[in-house]
Amino acid sequence: MAFVSQLNQFPCKTLLVTPRHPRLTSKPSTLAPNSVGLATPKLTLSNPEYPQVIRPPTRIRAIDEDESAPETSEEPSGVAAGAVAVAEKPAEPEEISKLKKALVDAFYGTDRGLSATSETRAEIVELITQLEAQNPTPAPTEALPLLNAKWILAYTSFAGLFPLLSRGTLPLVKVDEVSQTIDSQNFTVENSVRFSGPLATTSFSTNATFDVRSPKRVQLKFEEGVIGTPQLTDSLVIPEDVEFLGQKIDLAPFKGLLTSVQDTASSVAKSISSQPPFKFSISSSKAESWLLTTYLDQELRISRGDNGSVFALIKEGSSLLTP
């Protein structure tokens, strides 16, 4: 009776075993003190044809109803304890790489889109559409560190930039670089255009703040314009001719006059270069815009802006910038 009372202290369920072979008789052993398990019973076959004794190497443990049994699983070889196996997402880097190379090749000779033919524009649009369909960063605004960089404009369909990119506006001045620098920590964007001429180089930029509006869209608010301090060159480079209003002008007769400016330029270079850049505030109802990033990886970004214009930008230092 004492043994039965000890069993009643454990909420065990009665197991009914129906033997398929000769009847088994059980001789229970004494319950070990301070144990939550039951000692394995000694089982004897009652059939004289099987006189041997069977001692199964098992123990039965009583488990409280609130206690869950630990799950055990065999870890595959080479996997450290505690490591979580993550299924790799199937990717097609080779196909994306080919599309990016074809896109950069299509940019060649277009002068950032200014002189692109209708056929070339159609080819570029098709390649961009294919890349957007395989965008490895579906939520760019949730990957702000990836956006955090200086991006060089390689192509645009935005007609508002064409007058700025055109050489006819300033015959002796050319656009060296158009870039966009994103600071994801301070939520700022700087759009910059760098010019170079026979006497100096300078830049014009606009500073804006941005707010995240969706996984792909940001709202820009332009606050300030900056005209960089001209950096005068030590030597004067005069081209043979210049195109102005559709006509070529021979500069040979002016070389002597222009060369004499070199000495004056060198004397004032230090004084001008020490001046701070000129800044002015932007307060206009048109000072806001939005930008939708439709493709983003470690070296290429494709964005769409107002009126459906497209911008293809390459991260500074990328091999895609190498012709």
Q: What does the pLDDT look like over 235-261, one tens digit per residue? A: 556 667 767 666 777 777 766 666 666
Q: What is the structure's pLDDT at 256?
A: 65
Domains and CATH numbers, the chain: 22-61 (no CATH), 135-229+276-321 (2.40.128.20), 233-272 (no CATH)
Q: What is the structure's pLDDT at 93?
A: 76
Which pLDDT band, with edges at 50, 70 and 90, does 283 fall under?
A: confident
Q: How is residue 233 annotated by DSSP?
A: -
Mean pLDDT, rounded, for 60-69 = 45
Which pLDDT band, with edges at 50, 70 and 90, does 146 fall under?
A: very high
Instruction: Give the CA-trace dihedral at 143, 218, 98, 129, to 10 degrees.
Output: 140
Which of 15-19, 255-259, 291-295 is the most confident on average? 291-295
Which pLDDT band, with edges at 50, 70 and 90, does 181 fall under?
A: very high
**Residue written as tokens 């197991």?**
15
Single-letter amino acid code for the residue at 296: L
Which pLDDT band, with edges at 50, 70 and 90, does 160 fall under?
A: confident
Mean pLDDT, rounded, for 184-201 = 88
Lowest mean pLDDT among 12-21, 126-135, 197-206, 267-276: 12-21
Flag whether pLDDT at 73 surpasses 70: no
Single-letter amino acid code for the residue at 265: A
Q: What is the structure's pLDDT at 70?
A: 44
Task: Provide the residue count of the chain.
Answer: 323
Which pLDDT band, with edges at 50, 70 and 90, does 182 fall under?
A: very high
Bridge partners, residue 192, by sequence: 179, 205
State phi, psi for 97 to the nearest 5 degrees: -60, -40
Flag whether the pTM goes above 0.85: no
Encoded tokens for 308: 């459906």
Which pLDDT band, with edges at 50, 70 and 90, does 83 fall under?
A: very low
Q: Please give the residue that has the higher pLDDT: either 64 or 131.
A: 131
* Three-class DSSP category at 114: coil
Q: Of all residues in the chain, what percent are helix, strand and coil, respectively (each to 5)?
A: 25, 30, 45
Encoded tokens for 307: 């009126």
Q: What does the pLDDT look like over 91-102, one tens digit per residue? A: 447 999 999 999
Give the residue among 161, 114, 182, 148 at the shortest CA–CA distance from 306.
161
Lowest mean pLDDT among 28-37, 106-115, 191-200, 233-242: 28-37
Q: What is the structure's pLDDT at 276?
A: 83
Which pLDDT band, with edges at 50, 70 and 90, does 286 fall under?
A: confident
* Average pLDDT score, the chain: 74
Q: What is the structure's pLDDT at 196?
A: 85
Cα angle for residues 181, 187, 190 (degrees, 5° grid) = 30
Flag whether pLDDT at 194 surpasses 70: yes
